[in-house]
Amino acid sequence: MWNHKDSYRVRNGIVQASTIEHPSLGLVFFPAFDWKISATHPERQERLLYTRDQIVEEGLLDVPNIREYNPIVADWDVIERVHVGAPDLQSWVTDAHRVSAGGAIAAADAVLRGEVDRAFALVRPPGHHAMAMIHGIRGFCTINIEAVMIQHIRQTYGVKRVAIVDTDVHHGDGSQDVFYHDPDTLYISFHQDGRTLYPGTGFMDEFGGPQAIGANIDIPLPPGTGDEGLLKVMRELVLPILHEFKPDIVINSAGQDNHFSDPLANMNVTAKGYAELVDLLQADIAVLEGGYSVQEALPYVNTGIILSMAGLDYSRVIEPNYIEQHQSADVTRYIDDLILKWKAQWARREEIARDELIGHKDSWVRDYSVYYDESGVQEERRETVRLYPDKIGWHSIESYGNYGPYAKQSVYAMFIPWQADDATREEAFTEARRMKEQGGLNRYVVVDPMGQGQVEI
């Protein structure tokens, strides 16, 4: 398992990852033959089939320290400890989604049981745009497979401090939503600037909820960022923050759509650049997210990642259509300035946390909207966070989904933190019952992740 003292060294004031020699690697594949949004949709089974062909051709499954595992079907119980659905989860979640999450769980089990040093779940459908509340499909995602996996490992193995490093080109607004109020889950995303790409979020001021300032790190990068820029952000910003956070386990939300050939984005990263990024990170578990250059990129990026995670030579990984990439001087200057700004903000996180609570006594409230682009649903939310002076409080969501002129769904969901004591848990249930007595919504639900699970009030 990841150990910040053993896994990192400091050179010239910059933290760099060291490499475990020849670590054992578990692989899980699930291409979801029976699930697609539409016949020509970019998120389809070929994303994994070409990769599978490539790694078989390269003989990677015959390497002694690489072992393949089968996915499992994630139980409804563990999904319901993360997500609330409107009108219910069964309206949106298929067996394919459950097996995708189960593939991530199988990868985590292999690592946490000590069977392998690391694991890579090459599964679909992806999940990092799926929020805790679900009114449909957004950003090709329905349930958050990493969040379900993290719930499983906390419940099963007692893991506490978790770091997620999201290397997808799109900001993982779903993962951010699930963990925004959890100071023990560090979410770091570096992605193409949301002013130029879906979902339009992921900026520096999204720094974590009032009880978790500094646990959400969004690094918006300019279009045209290449290997040089991504690797610099990893070395000079991401690794030092991980070193300070001291996670028990590191998870790579491994989107691959920063590749120069990806049709849905505007970045210039190569397969070899991705492999080097993974080598620096030294994650315990990687879970596939996006990446839609099905033939030109994914087979080679995934091959590079597998070689890197297994401690093998990836220096000769190259795409057939490779064109030497040069990051512009303007992009380099922008990234240098962004790193300096982030270092300054990170250093001020305790001061920012104090300022965030000014004017808030017992609760913190915000209103915002969420759009489900694949389902055409507009959701309006009111989020309330219960503030305590000495512990982590619950948060609730009043959710109103507009499915069209004659169809609406509303849900009140109370989310109890996984760290909650009995008093916090009791108060959360009391508040949910009080809200139900007031009425006005279709459903009232409490999510108790380490206790009763999902409870209908």
129 counts as catalytic: yes
- CATH domain 4-347 topology: Arginase; Chain A (3.40.800)
Q: Within 10 Å of residue 408's Cβ, how many Cβ atoms?
A: 13
Q: In angstroms, rounded to a whole number, what is the distance separating the alpha carbons of residues 361 and 315?
A: 56
Backbone phi and psi for residue 305, each to the nearest 5 degrees, phi listed first: -65, -45
Nearest CA to 286 among 272, 305, 301?
305
CB 163 within 8 A of CB 250: yes
Catalytic residue, chosen from 128, 129, 171, 395, is 129
- 339, 232 Cβ separation under 8 angstroms: yes
What is the token pair recorded at 257? 């759509």
Q: CA-CA distance, 260 to 225, in Å (whole number)?
A: 9
Predicted confidence at residue 392, as pLDDT, reads: 97
- Are 140 and 125 a contacting pair, CB within 8 Å? yes
**pLDDT tens by residue, the chain, 457 residues:** 555 434 433 333 343 344 467 899 999 999 876 767 777 777 778 888 999 999 999 999 999 999 999 999 999 999 999 999 999 999 999 999 999 999 999 999 999 999 999 999 999 999 999 999 999 999 999 999 999 999 999 999 999 999 999 999 999 999 999 999 999 999 999 999 999 999 999 999 999 999 999 999 999 999 999 999 999 999 999 999 999 999 999 999 999 999 999 999 999 999 999 999 999 999 999 999 999 989 899 999 999 999 999 999 999 999 998 888 789 999 999 999 999 999 999 999 999 999 988 888 899 999 999 999 999 999 999 999 999 999 999 999 999 999 876 689 999 999 999 999 999 999 999 999 999 999 999 999 999 999 999 999 9
Answer whether 315's CB lies under 8 Å from 255's CB: no
Domain with CATH 3.40.800.20 in the chain: 4-347
Burial 114-147 (b: 16+ CB within 10 A, else e): eebbbbbbbbbbbbbbbbbbbbbbbbbbbbbbbb
Global pTM value: 0.94
pLDDT at site 43? 76
According to DSSP H, which parts of 226-356 are helical?
227-233, 239-245, 271-281, 298-309, 329-347, 349-356
Q: Residue 30 is inside which H or E element, if any?
A: strand 25-30
Which residues, listed in sequence order, are joined to residue 414 by a DSSP beta bridge?
396, 446
Output DSSP code: residue 51.
H
Report in angstroms the alpha-carbon separations of 269 from 280, 383, 425: 15, 37, 46
Say what the pLDDT of residue 1 is: 58
Residue 150's closest CA among 120, 107, 97? 107
